[in-house]
Amino acid sequence: MKQVILVKYGEIILKGLNRPIFEDLLVKNIRAALRGMSPDITKAQATTYISLPDEENISEATERLKKVFGIVSITKAYVLPKEIGAICEGTAECLKDELSAATTFKVEAKRSDKKFPLKSPEICREVGGALCMKFPHLAVDVKAPEKIVMVEIRDTNTYVYCDKIKGPGGMPVGSNAKAMLLLSGGIDSPVAGYMAAKRGVALEAVHFFSHPYTSDRAKEKVLELAKIVSGYTGGMRVHVVPFTDIQLEIRKHCPEEQLTIIMRRFMMKISERIAHKNGAIALVTGESIGQVASQTVEALGVTNDAVSLPVFRPVIGMDKDEIVERARMIGTFETSILPYEDCCTIFTPKHPNTKPKLDKIKASEELLDCEALINAAVDGVETIFVS
Ligand code: ATP
Ligand code: MG
């Protein structure tokens, strides 16, 4: 029996006249996710139908669709004709494995084609009766059934299925402009990137690299993290910025307790330049209030002052254990905890200033040729595409 994948979406339905734009983008992203499988994709009645020439690929396709934002549910459905006898027989045949293993069930019917001669309760009765005859061990339980058999009568076919898989939700990536993610090797920034992408934001990443203080393996680790995040965004460019000279200059000229905050301001300014060059209109970081000395409200304020682009901090209100849970869910945690140093950890002051004052920080920055340092860093960027 022919099988297709039905993809349903959530918030897109609320987009009024713009809905077709969101739907088309979702289809484009689905197509990209199913690259190599030659899917035939059609849309109708708030559902996207995907059929694959090689049905062996259906499980793999389902796995890939779990990472496409905008999808709320994914269903492997069997395609049956629109005639009640054939529906009863076909349902019993297609779902025999699931139903043999269950003890209770119920049928739910949805009739989007109102011309179909039977109403939904009648369809449930007919199909339910036929299944009870075919599987005498099964009992109907309308309150808490083990299996719900869904029968959807749509325009051209009937679709039957048992299990719905939860999609990732959110909005299609690309429906909400592009932002530059400041991606470290830590736990927080990949999660922040995932959360921005979930709201439809396309991403590129910036990574600050302090060769030879940080090793090539630290860079590889960040590229691996970018690759995992790019599983949700459909590929991602990573701009690797040489940062050592800036860090050494700050260490040489500025008060020790200000090192981290001045360094953070440089990161923001350089990221903003790279954003402008690449069409990104916001920055995304993995900062969370109070997590470290440079993330007190005062420090975040001073960091924020360095740029005029909006800065999004999707994990700002999350506790570390909540961020860790999310990192495990999206698959970045194991890579994030690999023990390679980050540029932030190599020049950490013993007593960082947790309540920095903007005028004092700016006065210290006067001791540096900020413009030349930023230009040199931007000129030295190496851009790598990961997918
Ligand atoms: P993370 O777990 O994301 O590394 P963190 O708790 O270690 O965050 P910080 O080191 O203060 O916090 O960094 C705060 C944010 O600054 C990070 O979430 C990230 O967005 C950005 N950042 C820090 N280091 C780098 C880096 N080497 N390259 C790019 N961005 C960075
Ligand atoms: Mg970090």
Of the candidates 330, 33, 74, 10, the one whose C-alpha atom is nearest the C-alpha of residue 195 is 330
386 has a pLDDT exceeding 90 = yes
Q: Which two tokens stand for residue 142?
A: 């309308």
Ligand 1 centre distance from Cα of residue 188 (Å): 7
Q: Give dist(CA 107, CA 121) in Å, integer.
A: 9
Q: Is 344 in the pocket of ligand 1 (CB under 6 A)?
A: yes
Using DSSP's 3-state secondary structure scheme, residue 108 falls into strand
248 has a pLDDT exceeding 90 = yes
Of the candidates 284, 269, 302, the one whose C-alpha atom is nearest the C-alpha of residue 371 is 269
Q: CA 130, 160, 119, 88: dihedral to nearest 10 degrees? A: -20
Say which CATH topology domain 178-386 has: Rossmann fold (3.40.50)
Residue nearest to ligand 1 atom 18, measured at CA: 286
Residue pLDDT, tens place only, 39-64: 999 988 788 999 999 989 999 999 99
Ligand 1 centre distance from Cα of residue 313 (Å): 11
Q: Is the peptide bond before 212 cis (omega within 30 degrees of 0)?
A: yes
Q: Is 327 in the pocket of ligand 1 (CB under 6 A)?
A: no
Q: Where are the domains of the chain?
A: 3-166, 178-386
pTM of this structure: 0.92
CATH level 2 (architecture), domain 3-166: 2-Layer Sandwich (3.30)
Q: Is 286 in the pocket of ligand 1 (CB under 6 A)?
A: yes
Q: Residue 271: what are its φ and ψ, rounded to 5°?
A: -60, -35
Q: Which ligand is nearest to the CA of 213?
A: 1
Quick one: pLDDT band at residue 352, thresholds 50, 70, 90?
Answer: confident
Of the candidates 44, 46, 59, 45, the one whose C-alpha atom is nearest the C-alpha of residue 5 is 59
Asked if residue 234 lies in contact with residue 387, where contact means CB atoms within 8 angstroms, the answer is yes
16 has a pLDDT exceeding 90 = no
The predicted pLDDT at position 343 comes to: 65
Q: Which of 182, 183, 184, 354 to mutate to test the pocket of ligand 1 (most atoms within 8 A of CB)?
A: 184
Rounded to an integer, the average pLDDT of 313-327 is 97
Q: Which two tokens stand for residue 8?
A: 């349903």
Q: Is 270 in the pocket of ligand 1 (CB under 6 A)?
A: no
Rounded to an integer, the average pLDDT of 274-294 is 95
